[in-house]
Structure 1
Amino acid sequence: MKDRQLSLILAFAGIAALVPLFVTAGTWLNFAVFTLILCLAAQGWNILGGYSGQYSFGHAAFFGTTAYLTAVLQTRYGISPYAAFAIGIAAAAAVGWVIGFLSFRSGLKGSYFALVTLAFAEVFRVLANASEITGGAAGTLIKLDVRPENFQFASRGTFFWVVLGMVVLAMLLTRALERSRLGAQMVAVRENEDAARALGVDALRVKLAAIALSAAMTGAAGGLYAQYFLYLDATIAYGTWISVEALLAPIVGGAGTVFGPVVGSIVLHSLSEFTKSLVGRIPGIDLVIFGIMLILVVRFPPRNIPGLIRRWRGTK
């Protein structure tokens, strides 16, 4: 089963890598790159929510932290985009650890923890919107300088392969986490934290490790977003849209699984674009669709797409 999972990951990587060779239209490549960025952000949420059972409504805090640091460090201080990207990921992990420490040490869990993460993301959004260093409401624009050393590529396909590599790496890390002692402890905390404590699991340490790893992975998605689109403002970086999509994709695709965030991101983003093409780009229409999808997933079993497929195949 484990070898099969690895084979599926490699098969996904191989098939997805062919996309730029057959798809040359800029619109479709933008769609593919953005979907992969969402996959990476959702995989980050999956570490915390799917495996550890700590549902966050504020992963925008991590996405935006790396996105802004990636942009600000290179535009204002002349730091290499690659170094800025790495610093941003480390900063997102640190922000996650601090939020987790303040929340978990206070005994917050469930809806209380979810609301605290949402509050942090909103505070960051307000600060970014008012701060001069982030460009305030005008946002931050990364200078267009298409050279590999600037983390900018002449071909969208090249950037697609870079993001795909990050997504596959995140999947392999998640797979390794499933097999590890930490992964087993995270699942134990998710299922019954009191029982896990009774068995000697340091629940605080496990949850802090989970949120730091989760924040780093989602932060990486933010840095890639900034580097691809070359523009940020507070609503983009710390907006509720990324928190919603990072949360919903694993739930729809199968939380606590390696492929859940990938399946969910592809389905949700495809559905969003299809809906917009039918009804026009009505502001917020994608969030309406996501809300309906979440209600259906929570209300009706088997509560995710892979489970629905297995149930359908079992009745055939």
Structure 2
Amino acid sequence: MTRGILPLLALVVLIAALPLVTASNTAINFVVFVLIIALGAQGWNLLGGVGGQFSFGHAAFFGTGAYVSAVLQARFGVNAWVAFAAGVAMGALVGWVIGFLSFRAGLRGSYFALVTLAFAEVLRILANALPITGGGAGLLLKLDLGLGNFQFSSRAVFLWIALALVAAGLLLCRWIADSRFGAQLVAVRENEDAARALGVDVLKVKLKAITLSGALTAAAGAFYLQYFLYLDANIAYGVWISVEVLLAAMVGGRGTVLGPLVGAFALHGLGDVTKQYAGGIPGIDLAVYGAVLIFVVAFAPSGLIGLVQRLFARRSTAAQGGA
């Protein structure tokens, strides 16, 4: 367990040191946004990577966390930290409701994926129409710097808070990987009928997974709100976030603890470089994302982490053979 945590802590310390090395707002903004995506991808990975329940609609959780926090602050004057916690809790509840309705009906595979997409689209339409969410104009939080308002003049503070959330997600995923619940989740992923025959409460395991997944992704949405202070339906419930978190987990290595974080950095790093050198071509970054996904599916189905592990294993085998 300790050996598994040490690499996570080393990576967290390395990222945390960035504001001490550079004062570039561009660099810090990039890392903060990547961490937001990584946090949401951790939620997707818990359900889709470890549990095998692929979702195309994680925007439902991201948007719920963001909108609940925004409405509580803008409409009812609730403290930002309390609103943040409420957004996370509501994201977990939405996850449980979607999971209960879907899993009780026996939906799995592409059927479950399409249901999650449908839920996200329904929530987007409602958010775009209801007055309490600001309708099409969205919601803008008042700029009021201060710790109590979860607003800071230094972007470095946001980076450290986002990193703390991601680190908590990493530790949670690491714990789940070594727990009885994690073993049950993998068993359900591999063969639901066999897991049920062995005494695993399949419905309970999947509900727990989607509830935790919803909470993690909602935390990403609520933090997004605090960082940008603006929200509308297309941002909160847009297809973009569902695609981003799925791609980050798939490219990094679905089912692995570090996969979502590695995938988020790889995708957005490559996307930024592409836009810098070919920014005149509309949608070029999306084309690159698609090409990367095709490459991963075809040549590295276990993601970048799996690819690196295989390369090291081959080098180790070759070295032993040479000796």
TM-score, length-normalised on structure 2? 0.95
Partner of 1:11: 10
Measured after TM superposition, the shift of residue 301 of structure 1 is 3.6
Counterpart CA distance in 2 for 1:3 and 1:127 is 46
Partner of 2:70: 71
| Alignment map for 1:257-272 (pairs within 5 Å) | 257-272=256-271
Counterpart CA distance in 2 for 1:263 and 1:39 is 8
Matched residue type, 2:231 = L
| Alignment map for 1:107-126 (pairs within 5 Å) | 107-126=106-125
Post-superposition Cα deviations, 1:63-82, rounded to whole Å, max 9, x if no partner, equal 00010111111111000011
- C-alpha RMSD over aligned residues: 1.3
Is 1:249 the equivalent of 2:248? yes
Is 1:198 the equivalent of 2:197? yes
Matched residue type, 1:92 = G
Measured after TM superposition, the shift of residue 303 of structure 1 is 4.0
Counterpart CA distance in 1 for 2:144 and 2:282 is 32
Measured after TM superposition, the shift of residue 230 of structure 1 is 0.5
TM-score, length-normalised on structure 1? 0.97
Post-superposition Cα deviations, 1:86-105, rounded to whole Å, max 9, x if no partner, equal 11111000101110111111
How many correspondences in the alignment?
315
User: Contact 2:61/2:215 (CA < 8 Å) preserved in 1?
Assistant: yes
Query: After the TM superposition, which segments of 4 or more aligned residues of structure 1 sit over 4 Å from their partners?
Result: none
Matched residue type, 1:134 = T
User: Contact 2:45/2:260 (CA < 8 Å) preserved in 1?
Assistant: yes
Q: CA 1:281/1:229 → structure 2, altered by over 3 Å: closer, same or farther? A: farther
Is 1:178 the equivalent of 2:177? yes
Post-superposition Cα deviations, 1:101-146, rounded to whole Å, max 9, x if no partner, equal 1111111100010010011111111111111111111111011111
Q: Could you tell me which runs of 5 or more consecutive residues in structure 2 were left unpaired when the two chains were aligned.
A: 319-323
Work out the percentage of aligned pairs sharing the same amino acid: 60
Partner of 1:287: 286
More displaced stretch, 132-141 vs 283-292? 283-292
Partner of 2:88: 89
User: Contact 2:60/2:119 (CA < 8 Å) preserved in 1?
Assistant: yes
Q: Could you tell me which runs of 5 or more consecutive residues in structure 1 were left unpaired when the two chains were aligned.
A: none
Measured after TM superposition, the shift of residue 302 of structure 1 is 4.8
Counterpart CA distance in 1 for 2:229 and 2:280 is 22
Secondary structure of 1:103's match? helix
Counterpart CA distance in 1 for 2:104 and 2:280 is 44
Partner of 2:233: 234
